[in-house]
Amino acid sequence: MATIVCEALTKRYGAVTALDALDLTIAHGEFMVLLGPSGCGKTTTLNLIAGLEEASEGRLLFDGRDVTWLPPHRREVAMVFQSYALYPNKTVFENIAFPLRLRRTPRAGIERAVRAAAEQLEIAHLLDRRPHQLSGGQRQRVALGRAIVRNPAAFLMDEPLSNLDAALRLSMRSLIKRLHHQLRATFVYVTHDQAEAMTLADRIAVMRGGLIQQLDTPEGIYERPANLFVAGFLGSPPINLIEGRIEDGAFRRAELRLPAPRAEPGREVVLGLRPEDVEAPAPHLVPLAGRVELVSPLGSDTYAEVSGPAGTSLTLRVPKGWRVREGEGIEVGVDPARLHLFDRATERRIA
Amino acid sequence: MSGAEDRRAPPPGRAAARRPVAPRLGRGLLLAAFSLLFVLYVAGPVAWLVSSSLQTEAQATAVPPNWLPPEPTLANFEAIFRAGERVVTYETRRQGDPATGGFLPTGAQNLLPSLRNSLVVGLWVAALNLLLSLTAAYAIAVIDFRGRRATLYTVLATRVIPDIALVVPLFLVIRALGLINSLAALVVTYLAVTVPFTIFILISYFEGIPRDLYRAARVDGCGHWGALRQVYLPLSLPALVAALTFAFLTSWNEFVFALVLTQNVEAQTLPIVISGFVMDFTTSFSFVNAAGVIAIVPPVLLAVLFQRYIVSGLTAGAVKG
Ligand SMILES: Nc1ncnc2c1ncn2[C@@H]1O[C@H](COP(=O)(O)OP(=O)(O)OP(=O)(O)O)[C@@H](O)[C@H]1O
Ligand SMILES: [Mg+2]
């Protein structure tokens, strides 16, 4: 159990800066998700926390203790990998028991702890098998078992569910969430799946190019994206981005006009509209009209590709109960309070 | 292996049926003939070695040759194991008649001691080689230290130099160390020759072991020794066996260094002593061949014992997956 503090943590591989002066405090018992596209430095961050890579610069503290130069086997963190990383020559039992054996736990204690972990993960009947005799989901449960069987300072998980199929991923996701509630331990979880990040995280650190773009709760990141990158990275289907200018307290692009009272005039901006932020037209809403080009029903929701005003192409969620057909016109209402504005040059959010 | 076969689209049934039988038969026969030829080429000398070792000198040197022993005899082997009991001098060696196989080469009594020397050297080389190359390969393959590329290239570069060029310098070094005519000299020299290659085999094998296993072991609580013992050692058994076999066989067969670095029965190995038999005034072929049979027994045993490992160990580095 630990509070993890990264202070200006930097990792360079030759000319590549994989991690650029990362400052991050992960509270005791917090579920922190590192989210970002491939190559943004998520795994590097985990490796540094685990001690598997040496920091080029900066410090790392566990509960105030400087562990920057502590080798991995002294850090007492547990790690779960996308590739499961089970020892192929050991049985499931021995895989889970391995960390305990290294700590010279008495035999009876090992037996008890392994059984308890296996029951919790519903793999008690697999203890005699070898990893190659298991399915992907079972393997990942064994890997989780190996992590929870001891009492680590933190759990580090590097895309643990990416190799599983969609249904299994959902059930494993709730399993991990349950584990976090039961263990009340610090979790650092890496993923590039935003749904996973949103459902699991207490806080999300969105990363790009070795830098944290935004650190906030899932709601905060979704409702108030700090910049264009974060806005575009979260949300499915992705947010609509429209370039334009601020004139007379409104966002303008040709004939398109949306109220933006707080933005300073003359500024070149990008307007963000999430597909799900449209409703049936109402007096307090700003109308937005266009022609339906493509309809994509997803069962729970239906999305439409709409060619909107000023040559824009928008993806919109069709309000409940509506029937739309390709080639027909559509008019929806937009709540101005739910629009996002970003500076075009700095890409930052305009408050 | 059958990749090319598998990738080829299967011929439609009708076309295959219509294909004339004669060419197919001809191809099969041709293949069989060439295979047989190849086997004869490779195994022929060995077969003759074994066969002639069971014949008297007269039978072994007869024209036309006796491909199979007319009356198999163990006299040659008996002579080898009894050589120590008979002092061979200028006089006594003439007592035996080369034509009957009773002849013993000078130095015949050195054969068994040299067999022991060869075994001792081979086992030490194999054991020390394993220790050295295992740790070196782990360090180079797994630990990211400054100068690791340079280390690897230096190790490999030492093997580009032909052994013969090293003979004189090595002789001088060994002499300066006062190790001439000792088994230690041979062990040290053979380690220098074999370790770079076994390091190379092990590195390519280690690099095929998923890096995440190393990471898992380290966070689970292993230091570098633990990771080596718990992950790399058990998962690279085939490569280890291949490396061990290679080191032992190289040392078992080596001739040039042994010739220069050893001078008498104290330290001479089997190849040196056997080659001495042929340099005698008269050569007893049946006796020399019996000695040859003894010389190939350990390698053959090794190969039979470990054949499964050796093949997979040597190819694993080449085709990762
Ligand atoms: N051993 C290495 N040598 C050189 N560059 C490396 C090394 N490891 C990582 N990098 C580089 O560091 C950057 C960050 O890599 P990292 O593995 O942390 O990305 P990631 O966010 O985990 O990506 P992914 O989602 O694909 O796993 C990448 O640009 C990568 O190319
Ligand atoms: Mg990664």
For ligand 1, atom 30, name the residue with the nearest CA.
Answer: A39
Lowest-pLDDT range, A265-279, B4-18, B70-84? Answer: B4-18
Q: What does the block give as tokens for A112?
A: 């008890």
pTM: 0.84
Q: Residue type at A125?
A: H
pLDDT in tens, B49-91: 888 888 887 787 778 888 888 888 887 887 777 766 665 555 5
Cα–Cα distance for residue pair A262/A249, rounded to 1 Å: 7
d(CA A161, CA A104): 31
Confidence of residue A74 (pLDDT cuts 50, 70, 90): very high
* Distance between CA atoms of residues B258 and B240, nearest Å: 26
The answer to whether A12 and A18 are in contact (CB under 8 A) is yes
Average pLDDT taken over every residue of chain A: 94
Give residue B319's pLDDT: 37
Q: Does A151 reach chain B within 8 Å, measured CB to CB?
A: no
User: B15: left (phi > 0), else alpha (psi -120 to 50), else beta?
Assistant: alpha
- Is residue B205 in some structural domain? yes
pLDDT value, residue B79: 76
State mean pLDDT over A283-300.
Answer: 92
Q: pLDDT per residue over A9-23, tens digit each?
A: 999 999 999 999 999
Contacts of A89 in chain B (CB under 8 A): 234-235
CA pair distance A320, A279, nearest whole angstrom:
9
pLDDT band at B320 (very low <50, low <70, confident <90, very high): very low
Distance CA B125, CA B245 (A): 10
Task: Write down the H helix ranges in A107-183.
Answer: 107-120, 136-148, 166-183
**Among B48-62, B213-227, B272-286, the range of highest mean pLDDT:** B213-227
- Tell me how far apart the alpha carbons of residues A340 and A118 are, in angstroms, rounded to a whole number: 47
pLDDT at B2 over 50: no
Residue A209 Cα to ligand 2 middle (Å): 13
pLDDT for B92: 53
Asked whether A274 lines ligand 1 (CB < 6 A), one says: no
A101-152, pLDDT tens digit by residue? Answer: 999 999 999 999 999 999 999 999 999 999 999 999 999 999 999 999 998 9
Q: Quick one: DSSP state of residue A349?
A: B
Sheet strands side by side (includes A268-273): A256-259, A250-253, A240-247, A268-273, A340-343
What is the pLDDT confidence band of residue B93, given thresholds at 50, 70 and 90? low
Contact B251, B121 (CB under 8 A): yes
Contact A192, A37 (CB under 8 A): yes
Q: Does the pLDDT at position B102 exceed 60?
A: no
Query: What local confidence, expressed as pLDDT, does residue B313 receive?
Result: 61
Alpha helices (runs of H) in chain B, residue ranges in sequence order: 3-7, 13-18, 21-53, 57-60, 75-82, 111-142, 148-157, 163-176, 183-207, 211-220, 224-227, 233-235, 237-253, 256-261, 270-278, 285-316
User: Does ligand 1 have an atom closer than 6 angstroms to the CB of A300?
Assistant: no
* Three-class SS state of B31: helix
Q: How far apart are CA A312 and CA A245, in angstroms?
A: 15
Topology of domain A4-232 in CATH is: Rossmann fold (3.40.50)
Choose the weakest-confidence range: A252-256, B128-132, B134-138.
Answer: A252-256
Instruction: Kindly state if the Cβ of A40 falls inside 6 Å of ligand 1.
Output: yes
pLDDT at B111: 85
Q: How far apart are the CA of A26 and the centre of ligand 1, in A?
A: 22
Stronger pLDDT, B289 or B309, i.e. the higher one: B289
Chain mean position to CA A198: 6
In a domain, B128, yes or no: yes
pLDDT tier at A248 (50, 70, 90 boundaries)? confident
Distance from CA of B40 to the nearest CA of A (A): 42
The confidence band for B99, taking pLDDT boundaries of 50, 70 and 90, is: very low
Q: Provide the shortest C-alpha distance from residue B242 to chain A (in Å).
A: 20
- Residue A68, judged by CB atoms within 10 A of its CB (0-12, 13-18, 19+), counts as middle
**Residue B138 belongs to domain with CATH number:** 1.10.3720.10
Band of residue B12 on the pLDDT scale cut at 50, 70, 90: very low
Domain boundary assignment for chain A:
4-232, 237-343
Residue B69 lies in a domain: no
DSSP assignment, residue B228?
A: I
Q: At B11, is the pLDDT very low, low, confident or very high (cuts 50, 70, 90)? A: very low
pLDDT at B18 over 90: no
- Per the structure, the count of domains in chain B is 1
Confirm or reject CATH 1.10.260.40 for domain A237-343, answering yes or no.
no
pLDDT at A68 over 90: yes
User: Band of the pLDDT at B100, cuts 50, 70, 90?
Assistant: very low
**Cβ burial, residue A323 (10 Å; 0-12/13-18/19+):** exposed
Nearest CA-CA partner of B231 in A81, A98, A103 = A98
Distance (Å, whole) CA A200 – CA A66: 28
Residue B236 backbone dihedrals phi, psi, to 5 degrees = -120, 30
Is the pLDDT score of A81 beyond 50? yes
pLDDT in tens, A205-216: 999 999 999 999
The pLDDT of residue A149 is 95
CB contact under 8 A, A73 and B210: no
Residue type, B290: A
Q: Is the pLDDT of residue A84 over 90?
A: yes
Of A71, A86, A89, the CB nearest to B235: A89
Is the CB of A18 inside 8 Å of chain B's CB atoms?
no
**Measured between CB atoms, does A14 come within 8 Å of chain B?**
no
Q: Which of B161, B211, B127 is nearest to A85 (CA)?
A: B211
A154-158 and A186-191 strand pairing: parallel
Mean pLDDT of B265-280: 84
Cα B52 from Cα B30, distance rounded (Å): 31
Give how far the C-alpha of residue B185 lies from the chain's centroid of Cα atoms, to the nearest Å: 20
Q: How would DSSP label each residue in A171-233? A: HHHHHHHHHHHHH--EEEEEES-HHHHHHH-SEEEEEETTEEEEEE-HHHHHHS-SBHHHHHH
Does residue B63 sit within a domain?
Answer: no
Under an 8 A CB cutoff, do A72 and B219 touch?
A: yes
Concatenating the DSSP letter of every residue in A193-210 gives: -HHHHHHH-SEEEEEETT
Across the range B288-298, mean pLDDT stands at 88
**Gap from A162 CA to chain B (nearest CA, Å):** 15
Structural domain span for residue B264: 108-314
DSSP state of B269: -
Ligand 1 contacts CB of residue A42 (under 6 A): yes
pLDDT of residue B156 exceeding 70, the answer is yes
Lowest mean pLDDT among A321-330, B120-129, B184-193, B301-310: B301-310
Q: What letter does residue B72 receive in the DSSP assignment?
A: -
Each residue's pLDDT tens digit, B233-251: 999 988 999 899 999 999 9
Residue B169 lies in a domain: yes
Report the alpha-carbon distance of residue B183 to residue B266 in Å, rounded: 8
Is residue A321 within 8 A of residue A279, CB to CB? The reply is no
Distance A52 CA to ligand 1 centre (A): 13
B227/A13 Cα distance (integer angstroms): 24
- Helix A136-148 to helix A92-102 angle, to the nearest 10 degrees? 20
| CA nearest to B248, candidates B154, B81, B119 | B119
Question: What whole-number percentage of chain A has pLDDT above 90?
Answer: 88
Instruction: Provide, as residue numbers in chain B, all residues whose Cβ is less than 8 Å from the Cβ of A78.
Output: 219-220
Residue B222 has pLDDT above 80, yes or no: yes
Output the average pLDDT for chain B. 83
**Which of A244-253, B145-154, B304-313 has the weakest average pLDDT?**
B304-313
Q: For chain B, give the longest Cα–Cα distance.
A: 81
Average pLDDT over residues A163-186: 93
Q: Does B263 fall in a domain?
A: yes
- Contact call for residues B294 and B116 (beta carbons, < 8 A): no
The nearest alpha carbon in chain B to A84 belongs to B212
CB contact under 8 A, A52 and B210: no
For residue A179, pLDDT beyond 60: yes
- Distance (angstroms) between ligand 2 centre and the Cα of A235 equals 21
Question: Which letter, b or e, does each residue of A182-205 get, where b requires 16 or more Cβ atoms within 10 Å of its Cβ?
Answer: ebebbbbbbbbbbebbbebbebbb
Which residue in the block uniquely carries the two structure tokens 């230690």? B184
* Span B8-32, average pLDDT: 67
Q: Is residue B38 part of a domain?
A: no
Measured in whole angstroms, how far is the alpha carbon of residue A63 from the centre of its chain?
Answer: 25
